[in-house]
Amino acid sequence: MSEIEARRLKAEEVGHEKLILNLGPQHPSTHGVLRVITTLEGERITEAEPDIGFLHRNFEKIVEGWTWSQVIPLTDRNDYLANINNEHAYVLAVEKLAGIEVPERAEYIRVIMSELNRIASHLLTFGTFAMDMGAFTPFLYGFRERELLYDIFEKVTGARMMHNYVRLSGVRNDLPDGWDKEVLEFLDRLENDVIPDYYDLLIKNPIFEARSLGVGVLTKEDAIAYGAAGPILRGSGIDWDLRRDMPYSIYDRFDFEVITREEGDHYARFMVRMDEMIESAKIIRQAFEQMPEGPVMGKVPRVLKPEGDIYSAVEGPRGEIGVYLVGDGNFKPYRVKWRAPSFSNLSILPLMAKGQFVADIVLTIGTLDPIFGEVDR
Amino acid sequence: MPEWVMAIIKILIVLAFIGLNGMFLIWAERKVAGFIQARIGPARVGRPQGFFQLFADAIKMFSKEDVRPAAADKWVWWFAPVVFFTPVAMAFLVLPFGPNVIGLDMNIGLIYLAAVASFALLGVFMAGWGSNNKYSLLGAMRAGAQMISYEIPLILATIGVIMITGTLSTQGIVEYQVAHGWNIKTQFLAFVVFFIAMLAELNRTPFDLVIAESELTSGFFTEYSGIRWGMFMFAEYTNIFVMSALAVTLFFGGWASPFGLVGSVLIFLIKTYAIVFLIIWIRWSVPRVRIDQLMTLGWKFLLPLSLFNIVFTGLILLI
Amino acid sequence: MSEINEKVKGRLIEQFPGVEVSETEFGQVEVKAPKEIIADLARFVREELDFDYLTMVAGVDYIEYLQLVYHIRSLKDYAELIIKVDVDSENAVVASVAPIWTGANWHEREAMDMFGIQFEGHPDPRPILLPEDWQGGHPLRKDFIDKRPKRERQFRTR
Amino acid sequence: MDVSKKLRGTVRIQEAPMTDVKVMGSQESEIAPGVWQHAPGVVTTSLQTALNWGRQNSMWYLTFGLACCAIEMMATGGSRYDFDRFGMVPWPSPRQADLMIVSGTVTEKMAPRVRTLWEQMAEPRYVIAMGACATNGGPYHQGYNVVDGVDKVIPVDVYVPGCPPRPEALLYGVVQLQRKINVAGKQEPEKQKQEKVESEAVKEDV
């Protein structure tokens, strides 16, 4: 039997119970470079095995050769939809380890930027989830709002995506004049026009509800056992948000709600994200009200040689972004371990995919929303 | 002129129309999509509105390499586009474009259409199996299930019209409507069933499970390239036209004009493209259903609804 | 919050007399345990002390030995716990905690890839991040050398 | 901790003999054909012009996002920048796509797959290396698992620098590719023949 003969599909294989189907690594719905090896029985999935590592680009190894502050731009590229949150996570860890003071204004700017970035990330998730469901238009509407956010970011940081804005002991530059008005305008637009638009466009659609309600249920116990993070944890009814429960930076000064939903299905996870955008807007408004004047950069020791180890985490759009740092009293980090929320979230996929339809595993990947920059690092 | 020359000319006209219509619809789809999605759409070639885009697409498609997968089942793979394309072209025979513009006014026109249209499924299945690709195979399986389940309500929905007009000839149905007003007034339920079943038959969103982009890459024609895939594409878009034309013929008075004007080909085309626009509009607005929901809708709602319509029409006719 | 830390420290010292328990300046309880008791320790903190949420398992290469760092949260008590286990560099075998926290599965596979630590009792010990035709070695160890061949640029004229 | 004598984290690259990328799937197909091969003269030149015009204005690109740059690629396809103006449509199946925008870092694990995808595309096919990683490895070029540039795996037509490039930059790259396509196949037959021979020689080398 020749090689080509061997590659040919066999009637026995197809007609019988099991068909092994590869989704990815190039596949429109895998949000990057995920490969899922699924075993099908008809249209039902009996087993799904994610294969990751297609974007393993050695972040943790490379940064061992770079200085403490050189690492910051590279953290942007880990979760490339939550750049500021990543920078914040890393910088916070180094600051704690080296005992660096941060001016108060810088803290507020960091919070504002982080929350804007959370909105941007959730907008994309809204779009890609709709695209997984076969509706292309909401995706472009998500991008329409993201472009406005890009403009807002660009005015402050000079970059659309990879900001490199949060620095040790502060942020790179102060906010430009009149920027706060622009942000507030954007938030008004988001709350009054955009999100109702999205409801009309997608969420109120009966097909959307039929596809997402009661599908892909993740129980509370499983969510905790797998270390799920962020909207996936909260969508399963666990009231846990690092911003409120273990406040870092200045999050204890803001009044906001932690959105939870009990159902644990696609719809719950999706709606947690939609509602979180409004909560983020609330935080940004309060931050602008409370923000003091003052410098945005503190003093960093000229020779930065922290020693010891630390685990520090922030709440990113996808959940807990944790950084474990080991410093050995040198210019460079000895070890940087990136605890990526998507990594833990994606490991639930085999459990959730079991027994689903092929069409639903696509949605499951959509609501788990893995970003492969941080899954594979 | 001898008859066979006329026949050849007619065939050429139909083929040219298929080509132009296919290209126009691909362009129109992109333009309408752009409009719905707050974009511009094709704008760089040909003004206004990038109208030459259709020629660019066609030239590219025709000049692309024709790749055959090594493990494909050669002849099945080879003939699938032809088998898919032919019935679509054959359907033009009975479409009443105008008062005298019709290929052949058969007295069993609708039966002919139903028989021919169901043939396309074979092409889909050949493409799915012959490509030796699991996505294609899954797409073809879905196509089989979907087309068979929706063919039934589609045909049952037309029966109401047939009962009222008392003829199976497409031209006859239009002439009845010229005399008695459009069928949509009495057969609204049938039109709803027909339209939904038509969307499913055409594999358009929300029933585009066969070519579900986010699940099966491109469904049954994943492995085709160049002109072969172009044939699938043209057949699909021509199919949209044929089905819309059928809907116009059955429910919207065919070439008859609403304001007392003389019926003509132009009016027929305007009506048809209005329905095509509706289909494109739906495509870019709604998400896709799942296979089990599709089956539920077909067998548990559309089928009883169409049967009810027949009974209802019969009662009305009796009274 | 510190009462909880005190309580956790007390329970741990009571249960495992040999281990080093301290509190870091960032409010986390830190336990240095010998690798033999890691399974018992993990079960104890999971079941008795309600540390139910494993965030990460990190390996660190200290040349002479490897260290595994487990960071565990208690979602009920808002407490954090760090367990550090030293593993021999050459013969790196340690008991898996994946049966206790299911989420540890992938984290341990990653440590397996990156540091060559074997986990006994792991449900699915396969490589996870590295390619199928991996060149060999464990990349996050400090003595790793990249042995990939050089590649030439590909081009075609048009 | 005494680490002054320890090895630090940088990756050292050991020299080794040259080998090619592992290729999965079919053989590399012919160079994009020009019409001049079949008939000389003014007709074929016009025909080639028409072909080039069609090809350059209808580049359907593969929906193939690798990393960060994919987000900018999507943004370019989005409402503000709108790839569709150039007649470019995202297309999921490689068989029907004309253009591959390699948007992101190519790793050792992904490289054979990128190669396979490229081989699955039908001629004429074009490749744009988008961003620093696809051009030469970018910030990750020290990595032990990162291919320093996608041109080590597949031939690239246009390089777009940036990390990630702005949508305007990507659009400029597309326009450059259009210019490149526009002049393809229009040279004197002898010259082209010569070039083809050369390129085959290069292929054998590789």
* Domain spans in chain B, listed from the N-terminal domain onward: 1-63, 65-318
Nearest to D53 among B56, B213, B222 (CB): B56
Nearest to D87 among B38, B42, B225 (CB): B42
DSSP line for A69-106: TTHHHHHHTTSTT-HHHHHHHHHHHHHHHHT----HHH
Q: Tell me, what's the pLDDT at A8?
A: 59
Most confident of B179-183, C41-45, D35-39: C41-45
Residue of A nearest to D74 (CA): A143
Q: Tell me, what's the pLDDT at B221?
A: 81
Using CB atoms, list chains with 3+ pairs below 8 Å to chain A.
Answer: B, C, D
Q: Tell me, what's the pLDDT at B261?
A: 64
Q: Tell me, what's the pLDDT at C81?
A: 87
Q: Tell me, what's the pLDDT at D37?
A: 52
Cite the beta strand spans of chain D per DSSP E: 61-62, 90-91, 99-103, 126-130, 158-160
The answer to whether the CB atoms of D31 and C143 lie below 8 A apart is: no
Q: Tell me, what's the pLDDT at D22?
A: 36
Contact D33, D196 (CB under 8 A): no
- Choosing among D31, D53, D57, which should be mutated to test the B contact, i.e. which has the most B CBs within 10 A? D57
- Min CA distance, B209 vs chain A (Å)? 9
- Choosing among B30, B281, B290, which should be mutated to test the A contact, i.e. which has the most A CBs within 10 A? B290
Q: Tell me, what's the pLDDT at A37?
A: 86
pLDDT (tens digit per residue) in B272-316:
889 999 998 888 888 888 888 888 888 888 889 888 888 888 888
Q: Tell me, what's the pLDDT at A98?
A: 86
- Min CA distance, D80 vs chain A (Å)? 7
The answer to whether the CB atoms of D92 and A28 lie below 8 A apart is: yes
Contact B279, B199 (CB under 8 A): yes
Chain B residues whose beta carbon lies within 8 Å of the beta carbon of residue D87? 42, 44-45, 50, 53, 56-57
pLDDT (tens digit per residue) in B156-169:
888 888 888 888 88
The answer to whether the CB atoms of D67 and A53 lie below 8 A apart is: no
Q: How distant, in Å, are the alpha carbons of B184, B239, D155, D202 from that of D183? A: 56, 38, 18, 22
Does position D34 have pLDDT exceeding 70, yes or no?
no
Those of residues 117-146 in D touching chain A at CB distance below 8 A are 117, 133, 139-140, 142-146
Determine contact: A161 vs chain B, CB below 8 A.
no
Segment D60-73 shows an average pLDDT of 85
Determine contact: A290 vs chain D, CB below 8 A.
no
The size of the C-D interface in CB pairs under 8 A is 83
Whether B and C touch (3+ CB pairs < 8 Å), yes or no = no
Residue C151 DSSP SS3? coil
Nearest to A25 among D110, D142, D164 (CB): D110
- What residue has token string 């009962």? B163
One digit per residue, the tens of pLDDT, for chain A of length 377 reads: 466 566 555 555 555 567 778 887 777 766 778 888 888 887 788 888 888 888 888 888 888 888 888 888 888 888 888 889 999 999 988 888 888 888 989 989 999 999 999 999 999 888 888 888 888 888 888 888 889 989 999 988 888 888 888 888 888 888 888 888 999 999 999 889 888 988 888 888 888 888 888 888 888 888 888 888 888 888 888 888 888 888 888 888 888 888 888 888 889 989 999 999 999 998 999 998 988 888 888 888 888 888 888 888 898 898 888 899 888 888 888 888 898 888 888 888 888 888 888 888 888 888 888 888 888 88
Residue of D nearest to B40 (CA): D85
Return the minimum-mean-pLDDT range out of A85-94, B37-46, B150-159, D74-83: B37-46
Does position D40 have pLDDT exceeding 60, yes or no?
no
Phi, psi torsion values for A308, nearest 5 degrees: 110, -170
Q: Tell me, what's the pLDDT at D136?
A: 86
Determine contact: A62 vs chain D, CB below 8 A.
yes
Nearest to B208 among A5, A134, A211 (CB): A134
Return the minimum-mean-pLDDT range out of A99-113, B138-152, D9-23, D118-132: D9-23
Q: Tell me, what's the pLDDT at A294?
A: 87
Q: Tell me, what's the pLDDT at A77?
A: 87
- The letter for the amino acid at A133 is M
Contact A323, A376 (CB under 8 A): no
Q: What angle do CA A326, A329, A331 make, to 5 degrees?
A: 90
Chain A residues whose beta carbon lies within 8 Å of the beta carbon of residue D133? 57
Q: For residue D10, name the pLDDT band (cuts at 50, 70, 90).
A: very low
Residue C136 DSSP SS3? coil
Phi, psi torsion values for D65, nearest 5 degrees: -100, 130
Neighbours of A184 (CB within 10 A): 14
Q: Tell me, what's the pLDDT at B263?
A: 63
- Min CA distance, D44 vs chain A (Å)? 38
Determine contact: A50 vs chain D, CB below 8 A.
no
Ordered domains of chain C (ranges, CATH): 2-89 (3.30.460.80)
Nearest to A360 among B39, B216, B290 (CB): B290
Chain A residues whose beta carbon lies within 8 Å of the beta carbon of residue D64? 26
DSSP line for B177-222: HHHH--GGGT-HHHHHHHHHHHHHHTT-TTSTTTT-HHHHTTGGGT
The answer to whether the CB atoms of D10 and A56 lie below 8 A apart is: no
- Min CA distance, D206 vs chain B (Å)? 24
The domain locations on chain A are: 3-375
- What residue has token string 């020689």? D201
Q: What is the mean pLDDT of chain B?
A: 83
Return the minimum-mean-pLDDT range out of A261-270, B199-208, B249-258, D33-42: D33-42
Nearest to B71 among A4, A14, A357 (CB): A4
Does position D13 have pLDDT exceeding 60, yes or no?
no
- Min CA distance, D84 vs chain C (Å)? 25
The answer to whether the CB atoms of D105 and A57 lie below 8 A apart is: yes
Can you count the helices (H) and strands (E) in chain A? 18, 8
Q: Tell me, what's the pLDDT at A222?
A: 87
Q: Tell me, what's the pLDDT at D16?
A: 35
Does position D15 have pLDDT exceeding 70, yes or no?
no
Does position B13 have pLDDT exceeding 70, yes or no?
yes
Nearest C-alpha neighbor of A86 from the set A286, A355, A342, A364? A342
Q: Tell me, what's the pLDDT at A45?
A: 85
Nearest to A227 among C24, C55, C144 (CB): C55
Q: Residue A154 and residue A152: Cα distance in Å, rounded?
A: 5
Nearest C-alpha neighbor of A162 from the set A87, A70, A62? A87
Q: How distant, in Å, are the alpha carbons of A315, B111, B140, B302, D74 from that of B115? A: 61, 6, 20, 20, 44
Q: Tell me, what's the pLDDT at D2?
A: 41
Q: Residue D78 and residue D3: Cα distance in Å, rounded?
A: 50
Nearest C-alpha neighbor of D96 from the set C51, C18, B218? B218
Chain D residues whose beta carbon lies within 8 Å of the beta carbon of residue A373? 67-68
- What residue has token string 């055409």? B202
DSSP line for A105-128: HHHHHHHHHHHHHHHHHHHHHHHH
Q: What is the mean pLDDT of chain C?
A: 84
- What percentage of chain B carries pLDDT values higher than 90? 0
- The letter for the amino acid at B183 is N
Does position D7 have pLDDT exceeding 50, yes or no?
no
Q: Tell me, what's the pLDDT at B135?
A: 83
Compare B120 and A262 and report the one with higher pLDDT: A262
Phi, psi torsion values for A24, nearest 5 degrees: 100, -175
Which fold would CATH assign to domain A3-375? Cytochrome-c3 Hydrogenase; chain B (1.10.645)
Q: Tell me, what's the pLDDT at D191?
A: 55
- Min CA distance, A53 vs chain C (Å)? 4
Q: For residue B8, name the pLDDT band (cuts at 50, 70, 90).
A: confident
Determine contact: D157 vs chain C, CB below 8 A.
yes
Chain D residues whose beta carbon lies within 8 Å of the beta carbon of residue C60? none
Chain D residues whose beta carbon lies within 8 Å of the beta carbon of residue A59? 140
Nearest to D195 among C150, C152, C157 (CB): C157
Q: Tell me, what's the pLDDT at B269?
A: 86
Q: Tell me, what's the pLDDT at D153?
A: 87
Chain D residues whose beta carbon lies within 8 Å of the beta carbon of residue A53? 107, 109
Using CB atoms, list chains with 3+ pairs below 8 Å to chain C.
Answer: A, D
Q: Tell me, what's the pLDDT at C7?
A: 83
Whether D and C touch (3+ CB pairs < 8 Å), yes or no = yes
User: Residue C58 is inside which H or E element, if any?
Assistant: strand C53-61
- What percentage of chain D carries pLDDT values higher than 70? 67
The answer to whether the CB atoms of C155 and D155 lie below 8 A apart is: yes
Name, in order, each residue with C-beta under 8 angstroms of A199's C-beta and a sequence gap of 6 or more: none
Segment D89-112 shows an average pLDDT of 87
pLDDT (tens digit per residue) in C96-135:
888 888 888 888 888 888 888 888 888 888 888 888 888 7
The complex scores an ipTM of 0.86
The answer to whether the CB atoms of A144 and D80 lie below 8 A apart is: yes
- Choosing among D24, D84, D110, D170, which should be mutated to test the A contact, i.e. which has the most A CBs within 10 A? D110
Determine contact: A56 vs chain C, CB below 8 A.
yes
Instruction: For residue A75, give both structure tokens.
Output: 């953290």
Nearest to D142 among A65, A81, A328 (CB): A65
Nearest to D6 among C133, C142, C153 (CB): C142
Task: Compute, in degrees rounded to 10, the torsion defined by CA atoms C12, C14, C18, C22.
Answer: 40
Determine contact: A359 vs chain C, CB below 8 A.
no
